[in-house]
Amino acid sequence: MTNSNFCKPFRELIKNVDNKIYYVRLGPKTYIVKSETKLDDFFQWSIILVIDPKSDQPRAITSDELAVTWLKPNLKAVVNYSKASQPPSKKLVLMRHKAKREAREKYATSWKSR
């Protein structure tokens, strides 16, 4: 008989909804992560929901589940990788172009005044 414990957690992004809610499978459980920015040290871990394989209803994550050492780094990695692989929004691209243009104009005016 084989042991069904996981040596390394199997991680997979199942889906994301509007780039704010991420469904992540780690091992046998599915986690629902609500995030609007990249996950960091100040992330609120209490808003994560868990769906057990035996039940279909999501429940709040417990402190015992958060104490597992591999959970937080793997959730961060999956969500941040998903956010990094998405194309930037049009608004963000326009803001970058505007900032570059303003920097060029500022440099040009400072160069002319010399």
Residue 42 counted as domain residue: yes
Residue 60 counted as domain residue: yes
Range of the domain at 58: 11-87
Instruction: Tell me, yes or no, if the pTM score tops 0.85.
Output: no
pLDDT of residue 38: 55
What pLDDT, in 10s, does the model give residues 25-67?
A: 888 888 888 876 655 545 666 688 898 888 888 998 888 988 8
- Across the beta sheet with 11-17, the strand order is 11-17, 21-26, 29-34, 49-51, 59-60
Question: How many CA atoms lie less than 13 Å away from 56 in the CB half-sphere?
Answer: 0
Tell me the three state secondary structure of residue 52.
coil
In a domain, 97, yes or no: no
pLDDT of residue 9: 57
Q: What is the pLDDT of residues 67-86, one digit of tens each?
A: 888 888 888 888 878 877 77
17 assigned to some structural domain? yes
Number of domain units in the chain: 1
Query: Does any domain span residue 61?
Result: yes
Q: What percentage of the chain's residues is helix, strand, coil (to nearest 5)?
A: 40, 20, 40
Which pLDDT does position 4 carry in this prediction? Answer: 64
Residues 5-26: tens digit of each pLDDT: 655 557 888 888 877 788 888 8
Distance, in Å, from the CA atom of 44 to the CA atom of 34, rounded to the nearest integer, reads: 9
Residue 111 domain-assigned (yes or no): no
82-104 confidence digits (pLDDT tens): 877 777 667 777 888 888 888 88
Kind plus residue range of the DSSP H or E element containing 50: strand 49-51
Residue 107 lies in a domain: no
- What confidence score (pLDDT) does residue 47 get? 80
Residues 6+ away with beta carbon under 8 Å from 95: none
Per the domain annotation, does 28 fall within a domain?
A: yes
Q: How far apart are CA 83 and CA 85, in angstroms?
A: 6
Closest by alpha carbon to 62, among 25, 39, 31? 31
